[in-house]
Amino acid sequence: MIKLKSSNTLFVGDTHGDFDSTIIIVRKFLEANYDHIVFLGDYIDRGIKQIENINYVLALKLLHPQKVILLRGNHETPAANKNYGFYHQVVKELGELFYNLYSTLFSKLPNACLVNNKVLALHGGLAEGLQTIEQLENLPKDKINVTDPMLLQILWNDPGEGIHGFYPNMRGIGIMYFGEDVYDEFARNNGIKYMIRAHEVFPAGYYHYFGGKILSIFSARNYGIKIDAKVALHDTEDKLEVLSVK
């Protein structure tokens, strides 16, 4: 897990090979000179420019290593890549060796980010058995295939309105919805004010769960449907602003 001190942080949801949207977002980041930009994962699969998209954010990380944070999403895994396009595109254009290098790189990405000890950012959601920030810090790394149950749920789980505790998720075995009570307990015990996550598609590009306690953003503009893609800005006064990708 990455810990940041920041007065203005730009958060980016799923981009899924939408290279054009990523360019627009990065231009916003550079022109406004934000302290940090945190990508919440899912750079690849489904989109038409997956290789360009992931290479672009990797180059940005190389240019601004302290300001650019790249989190792991559920699509930065072989299980997703072989079903949703990245594996086949890389093997066709670059070869199997390059796909293996990408997989190794994905296994080294952080799984969460904590900003000013108050804002928790991750791709999916809270997991069964997760009680402390320290557990996030100790999640396994260098695992190309995600087999750890808690890490799986961090990457895959969704908030669920009207749910108490955890409830099986339609996404697959071992994946859950978590209720507002789960979030409230975790936030209270760890001093969390907001959670920002990605992982879900909304035509409006964002959704506020649990009366605004969790912000879910999606930053690709075309995903089978036209989406009003969004990013989020968090400032030093702990205010959240949702911005359009235009």
By annotation, the residues acting in catalysis are: 75
- Torsion sign across C-alpha atoms 182, 187, 188, 190: positive
Q: How far is CA 34 from CA 26, 31, 62, 66, 68, in A?
A: 10, 8, 17, 12, 10
Task: Compute, in degrees rounded to 10, the torsion defined by CA atoms 179, 182, 185, 189.
Answer: -130
C-beta separation of 216 from 200 below 8 A: yes
The answer to whether 164 and 179 have CB atoms below 8 angstroms apart is: yes
Measured CA to CA, the distance from residue 63 to residue 70 in angstroms comes to 13
Judge residue 90's burial from the number of C-beta atoms within 10 Å of its C-beta, 0-12 exposed, 13-18 middle, 19 or more buried: buried
